Amino acid sequence: MNKIKKLFNVQYPIIQGGMIWASGWRLASAVSNAGGLGLIGSGSMYPDVLREHIQKCKKATNEPFGVNIPMLYPNLDEIIQIVIDEGVKIIFTSAGNPKIYTPYLKEKGIKVVHVVSSLKFALKAEEAGVDAVVAEGFEAGGHNGRDETTTLTLIPIVREKINIPLIAAGGVATGSAMYAVMALGADGVQVGSRFVACDEASSHIDFKKMVVDAKEGDTRLTLKELAPVRLLKNKFYNDIVELYSTGPSIDELKTLLGRARAKRGMFEGDLDEGELEIGQVSGLIEDIKPAKNIIDDMIKEFQETKNNMKQVFI
């Protein structure tokens, strides 16, 4: 049996990324009901808002779902306690040291998965005792690795050295891409950008439409001095480029970034001044549709690709 299906007790080894301003209870429950693993993205939620989303998700699905927790926030202890109190049994952690909470969470019967961008951090996560790792190539949207290692390179490198289940992320929005990364050693996939452009995502409709309209080359990885992030090109991105031409200090970059840029862009729909986080694979996204249709289409294409590969001769 597939390791990810067994680990999470799901029908398909497809995990929906816990993206800020997109991954609320509606999206997470829709993905879980469609046979994947839905994740609530806690990174854009105050503690009381997260609790509300978990409770609504439990009412909307009887299937497993989890919470993605970036480990950068000052109220992290409170967030962790809410997840435990609400009986969530799957946590994906990112942007921090997995050793801090993994033993405690596993004592509570929670499955822990950590998101990494390099072999170095994959090995550290395995050493910390996580149940699986997500290896994310630099094609991915949002905050990203500094080394710019692509998914097709990262997955086999990590697979060779770790023994726990491996989930591929970055550039995966189709069944054929899912087949490709699993052929390289992944046990499942985490899909982010494709689920931004779906009916149940809480992201603003104008942002969703901009994702659909995006073409190859319309995203860039930037702000490495702060935290590398892949953005759609817009006025804010052009302001970053202009500032870089002056040789800015860290403080000047922070001043330009300001606060709540991501909320302004992805949630409120300010396509000029907002921070619009999305992956390179946005160039392949052509429509906005229900999460169930996305999963059904991926599985259908996966099977078609599997069958077609039998005819390939090199």
pLDDT tens, 149-187? 999 999 999 999 999 999 999 999 999 999 999 999 999
For residue 300, pLDDT over 70 is answered with yes
CA atoms within 13 A on the CB side of 136: 28
77: how many CB neighbours lie within 10 A of its CB? 10
Each residue's pLDDT tens digit, 224-239: 998 899 999 999 999 9
| Selected residue with higher pLDDT from 144 and 256 | 256
Each residue's pLDDT tens digit, 121-159: 999 999 999 999 999 999 999 888 888 899 999 999 999
Report whether 265 contacts 303 (CB < 8 A).
no
DSSP class of residue 51?
H
Does the reported pTM lie above 0.75?
yes
Q: Tell me what pLDDT residue 10 has.
A: 98
Each residue's pLDDT tens digit, 63-93: 999 999 998 877 899 999 999 999 999 999 9
CB within 8 A of 289, min separation 6: which ones? 197, 198, 199
| Selected residue with higher pLDDT from 16 and 94 | 16
User: Which residues are 65's β-sheet partners?
Assistant: 38
Rg, C-alpha atoms of the chain:
18
